[in-house]
């Protein structure tokens, strides 16, 4: 077996954005393992300066093609809190449903298009269309359902149209909500197919203890707003996001790093599960149990399973939300508001973890200062340490360079990194 080698993955595939992995082994010992984000920065904080509040969600949603609803809603929440605007209840329910749609399409995209090929030993989902047509169909139909939820609630699946400061520009159509309800009921069994398939996959038994950070509230599984909590016992107010993130730069990465109690921490589906599993729908908990997933789980590969568990929760919760919207008068969708100077943080649980937007406005409602801290940014340091740990773990187990390369790619993918998002 080769004892001296360098693994250099230039632009990791099947992830959103550009990043490299370098692993150096000399005499069978790990010398270096590095996660370097090389994505081109876009400078959204600069673009936001001077932008009117009305336009902000349309700009922030362009931070990311996968989680545009999360970005729109984080900035809307920041602006509404800064200017003391209370959106109507119908708008809040619709927004929550929109978040569910986005998370479902994002998780389905990750699980079936990006992650499954690793477990199946293929380069992409394309060969699986022949070998595992039922699984590919289930993945596509779940992703389509997520997109449909987003379209019915926000007008479009990528870059939402009707999410605005104060509420919604247009209410979801009741006939479309009814059709959506039917689609959800019809497609729910696909998750059982997916769970049965994922139970056959060999998930590496690797773990490295870390701190998990997520939003938390005392009534439901986290989605929009709440306290900031960590599995190490830290709890902070939403506006104190800077104390939770402690962002810093690394000269080899255009995406920043963060830390809290330890050297690194993790956000995302596994973090949400670890901190808030008590609020999951019983069906989702049953799915988790079938994978032996229990809090606190420190195996990063189980983030894939946590995403699948969240999909089960989302469909159950979406059904209830739609029932509630169908029972409501959908006329009061937007609160009239007056621009004022202020500042606040809006935090949401984007598919990949906690997303912070902080906005400061002037008396005309224009942004004076903006700060966006993205989930993948919060995972960078953890990914970097996981790479070192998994390379050492694999070397101890006598794995060869090809096997180590694959494990390193897989562990990074398990975070479902959204790199363009993290370099916003």
Partner 1 sequence: MNQQGLRFEKLKIASFDFTCCEGCQLQLANRESSLADFLRLLDIRNFREISSERHEDYDIALVEGSISRSDEVERLLAIRRQATVLVAFGTCACFGGVNSLKNRVSGEAAVSEVYGDMEVETLPVRRISEVVKVDLSIPGCPVAKEEVERIIISLVTGSLVTLPKYPVCVECKAALNTCLFELGEICLGPITRAGCHAVCTTGKTPCLGCRGPAEEINMEAFLHLVGERGLSRSDLQEKLAFYNAFDAFTP
- Residues 20 and 391: their CA atoms lie apart, in Å, by 15
Closest by CA position to 226, among listed 344, 334, 348, 113: 348
Report the residue number, 225 or 417, with the smaller CB distance to partner 1. 417
State phi, psi for 163 to the nearest 5 degrees.
Answer: -85, 110
CB of 154 to partner 1, least distance (A): 8
Q: How many CB atoms lie within 10 A of CB 376?
A: 30
Give the shortest CB-109-to-partner 1 separation in angstroms.
7
Q: Are 126 and 136 in contact (CB under 8 A)?
A: no
Out of 5, 45, 120, 227, the residue judged to bind partner 1 by CB under 8 A: 45
Q: Which stretch binds partner 1 (CB under 8 A): 46-54, 213-221, 380-388, 393-401?
A: 46-54
Return the residue of 143, 272, 357, 358 that touches partner 1, per CB under 8 A. 143
- Kindly determine how many residues on this chain lie close enough to bind partner 1 according to the rule CB under 8 A: 54
- DSSP-derived secondary structure for 345-366: EEEEEETTEEEEEEEEE-TTSB
- Which bin fits 365, alpha (ψ -120 to 50), beta or left (φ > 0)? left
Element (H, E) at 265: strand 265-266
Residues 288-317 that bind partner 1 (CB under 8 A): none
Quickly tell me which residue has 């979406």 as its tokens.
318
Asked if 377 interacts with partner 1 (CB under 8 A), we say: no
Residue 144 engages partner 1 in binding (rule: CB under 8 A): yes
Binding span for partner 1 by CB under 8 A among 47-55, 216-224, 261-269, 339-347 = 47-55
Q: Should residue 51 be labelled a site residue for partner 1 when binding is judged by CB under 8 A? A: yes
By CB under 8 A, residue 46 contacts partner 1: yes
**Residue 365's CB: how many other CB atoms inside 10 A?**
21
Q: Is the peptide bond before 234 cis (omega within 30 degrees of 0)?
A: no
* Contact letters for partner 1, residues 159-188 (x by CB under 8 A): x-xx-x----xx------------------
Least separation in angstroms between CB 371 and partner 1: 9
- For the segment 59-78, give every residue that binds partner 1 (CB under 8 A): 59, 62-66, 68
Q: Which of 79, 125, 348, 412 binds partner 1 (CB under 8 A)?
A: 125
Tell which positions 203-222 bind partner 1, by CB under 8 A.
none
> Which position among 55, 208, 298, 388 is part of the footprint of partner 1 (CB under 8 A)?
55
Candidates 195, 207, 125, 247; CA nearest to 385 is 207
Handedness of CA 387, 389, 392, 393 (dihedral sign): negative
C-alpha distance from residue 418 to each of 1, 19, 119, 374, 378 (Å): 35, 10, 20, 9, 11
CB 371 within 8 A of CB 357: yes
Question: Which pair of structure tokens corresponds to residue 215?
Answer: 């939003």
Which C-beta is closer to partner 1: that of 166 or that of 225? 166
Give min distance, CB of 301 to partner 1, in A.
18
Q: Is 37 helix (H, G, I), strand (E, B) or coil?
A: strand
Tell whether residue 103 is a contact of partner 1 (CB under 8 A).
Answer: no
Contact indicator for 163, 72 with CB cutoff of 8 Å:
yes
Q: Does 147 bind partner 1 (CB under 8 A)?
A: yes
| Residue corresponding to tokens 């019915």 | 152
In whole angstroms, what separates CA 385 from the centre of its chain? 20
Task: Verify binding: residue 123, partner 1, rule CB under 8 A.
Answer: yes
Across-strand partners of 418? 16
Can residue 325 be called a binding residue for partner 1 (CB under 8 A)?
Answer: no
Distance CA 229, CA 259 (A): 13
The reply to whether 400 sits near partner 1 by the rule CB under 8 A is no
Binder among 58, 201, 236, 299 for partner 1 (CB under 8 A):
58
Q: Taking CB under 8 A as the criterion, which residues in 241-260 touch partner 1? A: 249, 251, 254
Question: By C-beta, is 125 or 359 nearer to partner 1?
Answer: 125
Q: For residues 78 and 284, which CB has a smaller minimum distance to partner 1 in the complex?
A: 78
Among 11, 174, 176, 397, binds partner 1 (CB under 8 A): 11
Query: 156 with 298: CB under 8 angstroms?
Result: no
Is residue 154 at the binding interface for partner 1, with CB under 8 A as the rule?
yes
- Quote the tokens at residue 29: 């010992």
CB of 251: closest distance to partner 1 in angstroms? Answer: 6
> Where along the sequence are the contacts to partner 1 (CB under 8 A)?
11, 13-17, 40-43, 45-47, 51-52, 55, 58-59, 62-66, 68, 109, 113-114, 117, 123-126, 129, 140-141, 143-144, 147, 154-159, 161-162, 164, 169-170, 249, 251, 254, 420-421
């Amino acid at each position: 077996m080769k004892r001296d080698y360098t693994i250099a993955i230039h632009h990791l595939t099947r992830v959103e954005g550009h990043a490299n992995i370098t692993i150096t082994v000399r005499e069978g010992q790990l010398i270096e393992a590095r996660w370097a984000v090389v994505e081109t920065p876009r400078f959204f904080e600069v673009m936001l300066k001077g932008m009117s509040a009305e336009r902000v969600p349309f700009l922030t949603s362009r931070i990311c093609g996968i989680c545009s609803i999360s970005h729109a809603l984080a900035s809307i929440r920041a602006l509404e809190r800064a200017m003391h605007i209370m959106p109507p209840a119908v708008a809040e329910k619709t927004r929550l449903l929109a978040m569910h749609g986005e998370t479902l399409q994002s998780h389905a995209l990750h699980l079936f298009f990006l992650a499954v090929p690793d477990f199946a030993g293929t380069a992409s989902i394309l060969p699986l269309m022949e070998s595992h047509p039922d699984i590919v169909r289930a993945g596509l139909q779940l992703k389509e359902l997520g997109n449909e939820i987003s379209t019915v609630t926000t007008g479009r699946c990528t870059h939402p149209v009707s999410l605005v400061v104060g509420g919604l520009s247009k209410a979801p159509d009741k006939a479309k909500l009814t059709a959506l309800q039917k689609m959800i009921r019809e497609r729910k069994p696909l998750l059982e197919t997916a769970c049965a398939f994922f139970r056959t996959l060999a998930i590496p038994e690797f773990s490295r203890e870390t701190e998990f950070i997520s939003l938390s509230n005392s009534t439901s599984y986290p989605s929009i707003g709440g306290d900031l909590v960590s599995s190490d016992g830290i709890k902070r107010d939403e506006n104190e996001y800077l104390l939770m993130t402690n962002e810093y730069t690394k000269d080899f990465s255009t995406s920043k790093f963060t830390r809290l109690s330890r050297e690194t921490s993790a956000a995302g589906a596994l973090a949400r599960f670890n901190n808030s599993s008590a609020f999951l729908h019983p069906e989702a908990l049953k799915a988790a149990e079938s994978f032996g997933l229990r809090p606190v789980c420190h195996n990063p590969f189980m983030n894939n399973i946590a995403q699948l568990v969240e999909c089960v929760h989302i469909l159950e919760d979406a059904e209830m939300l739609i029932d509630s919207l169908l029972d409501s008068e959908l006329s009061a969708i937007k609160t009239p508001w007056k621009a004022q100077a202020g500042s606040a943080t809006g935090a949401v649980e984007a598919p990949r973890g906690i997303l912070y937007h902080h906005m400061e406005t002037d008396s005309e409602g224009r942004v004076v200062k903006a700060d966006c801290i993205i989930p993948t940014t919060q995972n960078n340091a953890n990914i970097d340490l996981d790479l070192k740990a998994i390379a050492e773990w694999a070397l101890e187990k006598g794995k060869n360079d090809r096997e180590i390369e694959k494990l390193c790619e897989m562990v990074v993918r398990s975070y479902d990194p959204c790199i363009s998002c993290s370099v916003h």
